Structure formats: C-alpha cells, structure tokens
Structure 1
Amino acid sequence: MQETIVLYPIPGIGHLVSMVELGKLILRHHHHHLSVTVLLTTGRFDSLTTTAYVNQISQTIPSLIFHHFPSLPPEVPFAPAPAPAPRSPFSDLFDFIANNNQNLLQALQSISETSTIRALIIDIFANAALKISSALSIPTYHFCTSGIASVALMLYFPTIHNQTTQSFKDLTNIYLHCPGLPPLRATHMPEPLLNRDDQPYHEFLHIAYSLAKSRGILVNTFEALEPRVAKALSDGLCVPNASTPPLYYIGPLLANPENRTSECLEWLDSQPYRSVVFLCFGSDGVFSAEQLKEIAIGLEQSGHGFLWVVRNPQKKRFSVALEPDLDALLPEGFLDRTRERGLVVKSWAPQVEVLSRESVGGFVTHCGWNSILEAVCAGMPMVAWPLYAEQHINHNLLVEDMKLAMAMERREEDGFVSATEVEKRVRALMDSEDGRAMRERCREMKEEALAAWVKDGSSLTAFGKFAQSWES
C-alpha cells in the first residue's frame, strides 16, 4: 500500500501557504515512497485568493493532492430566536473546525482505503481534529505557522492562567513574563486571550494543554533566529512539572518568488539603490481613514521614496473589502506631489519579489510571521507596527531580542500612530547609524537562514529527526 502524510490547515491564506510549503518539503525529501494530501474545508471562510492559490499549486505540483471537504449543512432553527449577540471571529472559526470533524473522519477513512497514513499534521488551531485522529489511531503532530515564541507562550499559558483570576484586558500596565521572551503587556496578548469569559479563551487553554502532550510540534522558524526562547523550551521552563513535547524547527518555509512583472516591480527597478521604503500590512491589516492620512503625511514629510500597499478601511477583520478609492482616502494632492518618488498600490503587492529588489531599503510591517521570515530571508531591516493576533509578541522579539527592527511608537489606548512618528521612523530606518547597524545584522541573519538548510544545518537536522519519528 502507498504511504501518505495528511496535512490539515485552518482556513486563511497565510496558514495554507505555510502548510503547503511543509508538504512540498516532505515531497522533496521523501517523494519516492510518500504522497501528501492537504485537507481543505469548504464554506464561509473561502476566499478568491485561496481558490486561486490552490488552483495554481494543483497545476504546478500535481503530486500534492488537495482533498476538499463538502460544505457543512446549513443550521435550521427550530423556532424564531432573538438576534444573537455578536460573536468573536475566533469562536466562529473554532466551531467551524469542530463541525467539520465528520468530514475529517470520512476523508481519513477514504484515504486509508488506498494508503497507509503515516502521520496527520494539523494546524495548532485545528485542535478539534485530535478527537478523530485519536479514535483512528493515526499519529498526529501539530504545526505552528508562527515562531518559537508563540509556541512557548501557548505552552506557558496555563501557568499564566493560574496566576490571576482577572482578564488580561483589565490588567493595564501589567507585564506578563514567559521564559525566554521579553516581558509582554497583558493587554497585548492575542485578542482571543484578552477576555477570560469568552469561549475562545478557553479554546486556547484547551489547545495549550493538548500541545503539552503532543507527539511533536513543527515550527516554521530556524533556531538561530530565536535562540533564547529555544533554550528556554529545551530547558523545560515553559512546561513546569511536566515534559516538554518534541519540537522541530524546520523553517524558514516560504513560497518561492514567481517570475512575473507588475507595475510596482517595474517601478522599483527604476529607483535608486536602497532608496525606497516598503509599507505593507498583511491580508487583514487595515487602517481607519484617519490613520491612512497620517501615514501619507508622514511619508511625504520624510522625503524618502516609498511603495505603499493601501487597503480599503473596514470595521471587521476577515470581511471582504472593496478596492480603495485612493483619491478619497489620501490627502488632497498627495498622489500628485509624491508621484516622482512614491507609488501607492491598491490592496496587494508581490511582497517576496518586492523585498528582493535592490531599490528597497526598509520594510514597515505588521509583524505577521510570514512577513518577518520573508524580510529576514531578504536581509531587510524593519519598522515594527503590530496590529493583531500574535504580532505584539513578534514585535517584542524583533525589537528587543533580534534587533532586526525599530519600534513604531503607538498610542496605547488605540494603537494610533502620528504622521510625525511615521516620518521619524522612516528617516531613522533609511538614514541613521542605527539603521545601518540594523541592516548589517539583517544581512548576517539572512546568512543564518540560508545555513539552516545546508548539510548539518539546524533545520535540515530537525526535519530528519521529525521524519525518523513517523518512520519508526
């Protein structure tokens, strides 16, 4: 019987891309006797971006098989009910994953008819899948699409939970301490953890307990990027009074840049060496109209070239956004006044390709993990401007431990950034001695990233140990 590895990402392009890159890695090293199947949910979290990506991968890598779940049946209320209270997107996501367990069971049973499933690798947020894989006795691993710091904080979360009875959102000016990490404001914990009374808080607590008992946790990072927290984990400091699960740092896993042309790439190729700062804030990174105007004023006053990806303001994350009306959103005359040295693009830019351009000298980022890895692999210094999820954790690491980024100073109550601060940070990144020193550290870390995958490199070694664990 053929042997297969099954991958189960949660919805969301960032999580899917990392999982697909893991699948490509497995095929690259074990293609002679293994197949890889990626399970995909169907329904409310679908997007055109995800569909296009899956179609493109299916055409270019036919040995990577996508198995689409059928849509969940619609919920039919038994009687008229009052309008429900607003729910967290994370509650919807966790319920969606749990409700797909029957589809997961059927998929794994179907695959098992023609293949021996050597391992199931689930996104750490697809934790509900453990109920099914355990019943089928399938060896199951967790995959973290973020860094070692996120794993450490999750493993240590039950300890922090037991240190207080208050919600983190109410612990203003209180710092939380996790082994191996810089102190973190309680109010900067990831959104699902802020309110102790919300369902997502307890879902994350359950995930933390499951991670501590995991057969193994794969992490999209490399050890030289996060050495202090990696040591804290190896010393057992994040799982007090119990064994730390096996950890495999197998990154950086990044999509290869595509050979394509676009207006912004052609424009970058016409700009002077290291003259342009790139501003991009991820697929869910949106700002208010007021904040967009402040960024524009700051960029204009900085005097530097810029490539800026602007998304339409919206009130709710994960919702579909319309194309932005740049003339309405940006200060009057801004586009004309900065035409010679700046380019504003709507909604999306080919980030990997942009970061590799010689004209780009700095990156203002939301601190999403994929963006951080892309910048590190390009040797690109950053200004850190976290917005949501685990990005405040990543921000602290970048600024305080890695020294690969400058902090964008934000208003504590709402994260607002003034035009003066934007101007100041852009100039510091591009012109100052601190910026030059940071650029040199980024160049060195780029070399470390490359070294992780050469013979005897840390990530190649870790991947070999992971393979041995499911081959034995």
Structure 2
Amino acid sequence: MKNSRLVFIPAPGMGHIVSTVEFSKLLITHDHRFSVTVFVIKLPNATNVDAYIHSLTSSPNLPKRLQLIHLPTDESQSAQTLPHVIQNSIPHVKQAASDLVQESHSNPDSPRLAAFIVDIFCTAMIDVADGLGVPSVIFYTSGAAFLGLMLHLHRLREQGTLDTASPDFKDSGTELNVPSFSNPVPANVLPPFLLEKEREGFLDKYVKGLRKAKGIILNTFEELESQAVHSLSEGDTRIYAVGPILSAKDDETGQQGSDIIRWLDDQPESSVLFLCFGSMGYFGEDQVTEIARALENSGVRFLWSLRKPPPEGSRSTTDYSDPAEVLPEGFLDRTASIGKVIGWAPQAQVLAHKAVGGFVSHCGWNSILESVYFGVPIATWPLYAEQQPNAFELVRELKIGVEISLDYWMDIWNGSHSGVISGEKIEKGIKEVMERESETRKKVKLMSELSRKTLTKGGSSYSHLGRFIDDVMNNSM
C-alpha cells in the first residue's frame, strides 16, 4: 500500500499552529507511513507566528516527513477578519493541494493524499477536499466540554428553545444542562461571543462545518474529560481523543529564558507562584495595581509575566521596557527578595520547573494541558474566547483548579472588560492555589500521572490515535 500524506490546515493563531505541528510530529513518529504537509495561513501583522515558523523551519530537528507550505498573504488587507482571511485562502489551498495530488500521480514514490485535517475555523476547506475526493477531519484545539457546549447551544437555537441574545440572559441565573458537563452550566460563564446576536451566524457556520467532517480529533484525553468525550462519542461523528498534545520543550530559550530558569533554580521546591496570561493577555494599570497589592500582601514567591497592551492593529502583546512604569511605586524594591517581574516567559519550561507550585492563568486550553501535565494547580482568571467555561470546568467539574474568577472577560481588541478584580479576591485565590496539602493539588498530581500514561501503549489516547491511523490507512472514514 502506498504511503499516505495528510494535509493540515490550522487557523492562523499561535495556539492553533503550535498544536497542529506537535500533533503532526506525533503522527509521523508513531507511524512511518505518514507524511504531513501543513498549509500555513497567516494573519497580517502576526509577528509571534512568524517568529515561531522561522524557528521551526530553521531547526535541524524538523522531521523530514513534515513539510510547511506558506500560502500567499495580502499584507495590505491588515484589517481583514479571520473569516475573510480563511475565505481568501481557499483558491491557494485548492492550488497547493492539487499540486500534491498531481505529484502523487506522476511520482510512484510520492505518498497519496489521504485526508485534510482542518481547524474548526477552516471548515470552508472541506469543500476543497470533497472536490479532490478525500475525506476531511476536524482537529479541534480546545477542550471536549466546550465543543459539546457549542453543539448544545446550536441545537437549542435550531429548536427555537433558547434566546441567548436577550440582554438579560447572562445575568438571569439560568443554568443549562449540557451533555458534555456533569454540572449545570450557569449563563454567566458563557463567553460573550456565544451570546451576541450578531455572532450567532459566526458560531452556527462553524458548527455546521463540523457536521460535514468525517471525524473530530480532540486535544484532550478521556481520563481528564470523560463526561465530555463519552457524550460526544454518542453521535454519528467519529471522535479521536489523542491528547495531551503539548508544545515541545525547547532548550534554546534565549538569554531571557535562561535568566528566568536560573532564578527558579535558586527558589525552594513548589514555592513559586507563576502568573501568565498568554500571548494576548494584558491588563490596564488599575488591575495591575491590584495584582501587585495581592502579591505583596500574600508574601508568596512569584514569577509574573507582565505584558504591555498590543500596538494598534495587532493582537500580540509586547514587553514593557521598564515594568516600573505601570507598577505601584516601590513595588519592585519591596519584593526584590521574593519575586521577579518579567515579560515573555517560556511557559512550558517554567511549569516543568520543580520550584513552581501554582499558576495564575487565563485558562487557554494549551495552558491547561501544560499545567495538568506538569502537575501545577491553576488559579483561574479567564479573559476571552472559550476561557470562561474552561475555568468553570477546572474548578467545578474537575476540581483541579481554584477560583479567582470564572466570569471575568475582556475584549482583546479595545481593552474593555468586566471590571477590576480586587486585590483581596486575588490574594485569596493565590493563597488557596499555593496550599501544600490541598485536595486540589492532590487531584492535579493524580491527573498529571494519567496524562503521561495515556499516550503510552495501552493508554486511551494511544488507542484513539491507533484507530485514527487505521481509519485513514484503510479508507474507512
């Protein structure tokens, strides 16, 4: 049988691309019959993605059977929304995929194009795959519980039994019985983009796209989200829970990363609280002041990744040239013996360090998987996207996180937010997440062990991956 090529089409966001590349590596390591080609769609001004792709393609460790193809980008259309960028990329995807098919036909040693693996935001590409006669599978980079929540809301809207766009809905006290959650989900933890009337079409478009796919690959594992994975598996679509797919630890962290690790080396075991809010997370000066006050009053050792709001037209935060400009006067001097304020952080390496004992996080899915894998409990502070229900899942469903907030939100484009969280509330969450013998910490340590076993032979994710490979190789999708 001829070897198989999979075409991956990730959404043009850092978390999506990193997860796609790491899953590609896992596949070709697991089975030598696979080659992977990633079609890279780029958002204009996405400098962090550019840097990551450059480091990847220039690395001598890039597997030979992993190929990245950069699709043309119109840099002049800097204000384009994601749907427009994806739509404009369709002709380029069609041409690039047709070239791969032609190569397979003309060269007997070239692998056959076996499937498209597309991000949920790229379901428009399924029609391209259909035109080439190959199946499509969704690679979903968030959690199974949230996917189930989206599907459930879509179903209720189709039935006309739920009006989430009502101005009073979010604060109504309504609780939804969602199959992918074992506890009722309160309306106040539903992300704004799921509730806004003008965004309903946006959501429904992608959910309808899911229905056209032959299967869904989930970056999760059964032991973590058993309720959600089992509820999704009851439908007609094949479900493959193959996680945790984590970004590889990179020893080449640069001088700044080395300084951070050296500082951690000097701290006692499990004594440091790590605060990091992702590549797009930032706060105004009022909120920064409250965080600083909480840290100082708590007395805990801390490593704080403090980021500056993005420049106009960009979604990527930057480092402060001098953090003192936004921090309370004298804060850095008063906490110099116990804390370190930094900009960018090598997150996976920090969480892997034995000195780190707690993590204040925005609850992005990749961050959650990393914290679970390294056994570090999270204090939840969601900001945008699906992070509010992620925080609810951590605290109320899985009980492997503690609450600073479950329903905080911000608009990463204009900086508007749901309010300022007080230093007292932050301090309470800090102290709780750093408790040495808490039940939360014990549960996280247990889940950490399971996350490491699940991708080994006999583990649930290992089995799901094997089923996916068999389905592709046997054309049984």
So what's the TM-score if we normalise by structure 1? 0.89
Question: Structure 1, unaligned stretches of length 5 or more?
Answer: 76-86, 237-242
CA contact (8 A) 1:7 1:19 kept: yes
Alignment partners' CA distance in 2, 1:334 and 1:7: 47
Alignment partners' CA distance in 2, 1:252 and 1:111: 30
- What do residues 9-38 of structure 1 show as CA deviations (whole Å, max 9, x unaligned)? 01111100000011101111222x321100
Q: Secondary structure at the match of 2:236?
A: coil
Which residue of structure 2 aligns with residue 37 of structure 1? 37
Alignment partners' CA distance in 2, 1:112 and 1:456: 36
Alignment partners' CA distance in 2, 1:411 and 1:469: 40
- What do residues 394-444 of structure 1 show as CA deviations (whole Å, max 9, x unaligned)? 1111001111100114786815311111111111222375xx221111111
Q: Secondary structure at the match of 1:256?
A: coil
Which residue of structure 1 aligns with residue 292 of structure 2? 296
Q: Secondary structure at the match of 1:353?
A: helix
- C-alpha deviation, 1:317, in angstroms: 8.9
Which residue of structure 2 aligns with residue 454 of structure 1? 456
- What do residues 65-114 of structure 1 show as CA deviations (whole Å, max 9, x unaligned)? 11111124857xxxxxxxxxxx9x9x810111011111111111111111
User: Which of 275, 298, 313 is 2:309 aligned to?
Assistant: 313
**1:96 equivalenced with 2:92 (yes/no):** no
Q: Given the superposition, is the C-alpha separation of residues 386 and 393 from structure 1 closer, same or farther in structure 2, using an over 3 Å criterion?
A: same
Letter in 1 for 2:231: A
Which residue of structure 1 aligns with residue 48 of structure 2? 49
Letter in 1 for 2:195: L
The range that moved more, 210-219 or 292-301, is 210-219
The range that moved more, 52-61 or 299-308, is 52-61
5 Å-filtered alignment, 1:16-415, equals 16-31=17-32, 33-44=33-44, 46-58=45-57, 59=59, 60-63=61-64, 64-72=66-74, 92-115=81-104, 116-161=112-157, 162-167=160-165, 170-171=168-169, 172-173=171-172, 174-181=174-181, 182-196=183-197, 198=198, 200-234=199-233, 236=234, 243-260=235-252, 262-313=258-309, 318-324=314-320, 325-346=322-343, 348-409=344-405, 414-415=418-419
Q: Given the superposition, is the C-alpha separation of residues 104 and 374 from structure 1 closer, same or farther in structure 2, using an over 3 Å criterion?
A: same
- What do residues 210-234 of structure 1 show as CA deviations (whole Å, max 9, x unaligned)? 3234200000011000112223223
Q: Secondary structure at the match of 2:278?
A: coil
Q: Secondary structure at the match of 1:222?
A: coil
Alignment partners' CA distance in 1, 2:167 and 2:313: 19
Alignment partners' CA distance in 2, 1:468 and 1:13: 30
Q: Given the superposition, is the C-alpha separation of residues 281 and 317 from structure 1 closer, same or farther in structure 2, using an over 3 Å criterion?
A: farther
Q: Secondary structure at the match of 2:345?
A: coil
Alignment partners' CA distance in 2, 1:38 and 1:357: 32
Q: Secondary structure at the match of 1:125?
A: helix
Alignment partners' CA distance in 2, 1:67 and 1:372: 29
CA contact (8 A) 1:410 1:416 kept: no
Task: Provide the alpha-carbon RMSD of the alignment.
Answer: 2.2
Alignment partners' CA distance in 1, 2:103 and 2:31: 18
Alignment partners' CA distance in 2, 1:316 and 1:156: 36
Letter in 1 for 2:24: G
CA contact (8 A) 2:279 2:317 kept: no
Alignment partners' CA distance in 2, 1:67 and 1:98: 18
Alignment partners' CA distance in 1, 2:393 and 2:43: 36
Q: Secondary structure at the match of 2:275?
A: strand
Letter in 1 for 2:87: A
Q: Given the superposition, is the C-alpha separation of residues 168 and 233 from structure 1 closer, same or farther in structure 2, using an over 3 Å criterion?
A: farther
Alignment partners' CA distance in 2, 1:160 and 1:129: 27
Q: Secondary structure at the match of 2:249?
A: coil
Question: Structure 2, unaligned stretches of length 5 or more?
Answer: 105-111, 409-416
Number of equivalenced pairs: 445
- What do residues 318-377 of structure 1 show as CA deviations (whole Å, max 9, x unaligned)? 53444324111000000000000000001x111111111111111111100000000000
Which residue of structure 2 aligns with residue 10 of structure 1? 11
- What do residues 47-81 of structure 1 show as CA deviations (whole Å, max 9, x unaligned)? 23212222222222142111111124857xxxxxx
CA contact (8 A) 1:155 1:211 kept: no
Alignment partners' CA distance in 2, 1:14 and 1:123: 11
Alignment partners' CA distance in 2, 1:143 and 1:13: 15
The range that moved more, 314-323 or 125-134, is 314-323
CA contact (8 A) 2:379 2:429 kept: yes
Q: Secondary structure at the match of 1:113?
A: helix
Alignment partners' CA distance in 2, 1:8 and 1:28: 20
Q: Given the superposition, is the C-alpha separation of residues 74 and 267 from structure 1 closer, same or farther in structure 2, using an over 3 Å criterion?
A: closer
- C-alpha deviation, 1:272, in angstroms: 1.2
Q: Given the superposition, is the C-alpha separation of residues 55 and 335 from structure 1 closer, same or farther in structure 2, using an over 3 Å criterion?
A: same
Alignment partners' CA distance in 1, 2:133 and 2:372: 39
Letter in 1 for 2:250: E
Q: Given the superposition, is the C-alpha separation of residues 315 and 184 from structure 1 closer, same or farther in structure 2, using an over 3 Å criterion?
A: farther
Q: Secondary structure at the match of 1:126?
A: helix
The range that moved more, 459-468 or 128-137, is 128-137
- What do residues 94-144 of structure 1 show as CA deviations (whole Å, max 9, x unaligned)? 111011111111111111111321011000111111221122222110011
So what's the TM-score if we normalise by structure 2? 0.88
CA contact (8 A) 1:168 1:193 kept: no
Letter in 1 for 2:398: M
Q: Secondary structure at the match of 2:121?
A: coil
Letter in 1 for 2:17: L
